[in-house]
């Protein structure tokens, strides 16, 4: 059983080397022959320059589940005409998911997409300019690194990574490739979040002391993904990736969010959005330290989920404030999301319509009277921003650096959860240490 997993991991290593070699050959060809005489199918040529107005952006989807199909595909299609976009390839280990996604492609574009099981096959295609990665959490860095080495522009779901080694390797690959990357922390593109950042920059809240989120539900979100999946319809080894082999399990495949091997639960999966908003609004980048505790206290049943249903992480930032992310998936009462400063407090329980007040502030300056809505600042949605950034050769609103920052924070939390010890981030060495 272990041998099968090793072979699959070695296959991933080989594709990385192959893609690196292909990138070297293409770059050598560019240097030796000149850009003008190479065919447009050399996607690598699109790096580092704006696309022409008539160049179609051809997209491949890696991961055709709920996120890839219902969010990514729908979100991009809204801008298909304006941005000259076409979805040309679909990748997923589950045949049913590929076929359901293809029904949309056929309806929208009048022809079938190329359907493949593995990301390796998709990245071998010559007609792909960009990929959207909506695979399970444990595969994000594998797919991100491979796509960067293949010279594709990338939209990748959060959390960006589950461990530091793969995070560093994939981020370095992106930076070397020079491709446009958008991290799927789409709250940055909301008018309410843009307005909250401007309010903070104006100093309305004063000096922050604490930012907190309590995000509670009656039961864990992974129960909603349970499906009747047949083993014969799934490439199980492709799903496992570098994880140890085990017999096919329909619960594990469909509701992978609930299993620690494939996702680390609510702090990375839900909290990544919160942490990214904290970074975006305040300008902070990395925590100094983190402590995290939790467990499975309510939902123990036949599905044998291994992710915590109640967990809390606290980070201390060098800017001088504490951030707390708490998730109780056993009772929905008590959800809050607040930024506390010495001049005022911002209520972000609703991402779309935050408000602020000086109630409770020890040093109010008289500029806030009562509770006021945060002024909204309109901007393009997250998918439009990515497509526009590709076309104009610009940095997206949630670039790879932002993904790296939120990933460091949530990995710190889960390492603390695993060890029962405080974690510390060494930014110079890019290491997470335990105290």
Give per-residue pLDDT as tens, 94-103.
Answer: 999 999 999 9
CA dist., res. 223 & res. 430, Å (int): 35
User: Per-residue pLDDT averaged across 288-303, rounded?
Assistant: 98
Look up residue 110 and give its two tokens: 């009048």
CA dist., res. 92 & res. 64, Å (int): 6
pLDDT of residue 52: 57
Domains and CATH numbers, the chain: 2-186+386-399 (3.40.50.720), 188-379+408-434 (3.30.360.10)
* 3-class state of residue 340 by DSSP: strand
**Share above pLDDT 70 across residues of the chain, in percent, rounded to a whole number:** 88
Residue bearing the bigger pLDDT, 41 or 102: 102
**pLDDT single digits (tens) 372-381:** 999 999 999 9
User: Per-residue pLDDT averaged across 268-274, rounded?
Assistant: 97
User: Per-residue pLDDT averaged across 314-338, rounded?
Assistant: 97
Contact 194, 379 (CB under 8 A): yes
Contact 273, 28 (CB under 8 A): no
Specify the pTM: 0.90
């Amino acid at each position: 059983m272990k041998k099968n997993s090793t072979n699959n991991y070695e296959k991933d290593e080989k594709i990385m080397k192959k893609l690196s070699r292909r990138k070297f050959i293409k770059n050598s060809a560019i240097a030796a022959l000149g850009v003008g005489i190479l065919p447009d199918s050399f996607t690598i040529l699109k790096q580092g320059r704006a696309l022409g107005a008539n160049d179609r952006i051809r997209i491949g989807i890696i991961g055709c589940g709920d996120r890839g199909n219902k969010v990514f595909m729908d979100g991009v299609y809204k801008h298909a005409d304006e941005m000259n976009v076409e979805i040309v390839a679909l990748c997923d280990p589950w045949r049913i998911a590929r076929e359901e996604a293809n029904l949309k492609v056929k309806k929208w574009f009048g022809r079938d997409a190329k359907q493949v099981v593995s990301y390796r096959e998709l990245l071998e295609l010559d007609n792909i300019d960009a990929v959207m990665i909506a695979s399970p959490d444990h595969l994000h860095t594998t797919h991100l690194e491979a796509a960067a080495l293949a010279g594709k522009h990338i939209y990748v779901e959060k959390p960006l990574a589950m461990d530091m080694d793969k995070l560093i390797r994939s981020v370095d690959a992106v930076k070397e490739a020079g491709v446009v990357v958008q991290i799927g922390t789409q709250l940055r593109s909301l008018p309410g979040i843009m307005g909250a950042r401007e309010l903070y920059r104006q100093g309305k809240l004063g000096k922050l002391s604490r930012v907190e989120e309590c995000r509670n539900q009656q039961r864990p979100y992974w129960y909603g993904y349970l499906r009747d999946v047949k083993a014969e319809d799934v490439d199980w080894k492709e799903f496992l990736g570098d994880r140890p082999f085990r017999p096919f399990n329909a619960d594990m495949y469909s509701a992978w969010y609930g299993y620690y091997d494939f996702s680390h639960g609510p702090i990375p999966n839900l909290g990544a959005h919160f942490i990214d908003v904290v970074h975006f609004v305040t300008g902070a980048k990395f925590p100094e330290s983190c402590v995290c505790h939790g467990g499975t206290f309510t939902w123990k049943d036949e599905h044998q989920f291994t992710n915590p249903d109640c967990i809390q992480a606290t980070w201390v930032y060098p800017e001088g404030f504490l951030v707390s992310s708490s998730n109780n998936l056993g009772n929905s009462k008590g959800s809050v999301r607040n930024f506390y400063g010495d001049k005022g407090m911002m209520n972000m329980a609703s991402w779309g319509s935050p408000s602020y007040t000086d109630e409770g502030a020890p040093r109010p300056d008289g500029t806030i009277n009562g509770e006021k809505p945060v002024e909204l600042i309109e901007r393009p949605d997250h998918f439009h921003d990515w497509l526009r950034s590709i076309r104009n050769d610009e940095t997206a609103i949630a670039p790879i650096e932002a993904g790296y920052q939120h990933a460091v924070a949530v990995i710190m939390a889960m390492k603390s959860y695993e060890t029962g010890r405080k974690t510390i981030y060494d930014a110079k060495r890019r290491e997470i240490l335990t105290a």
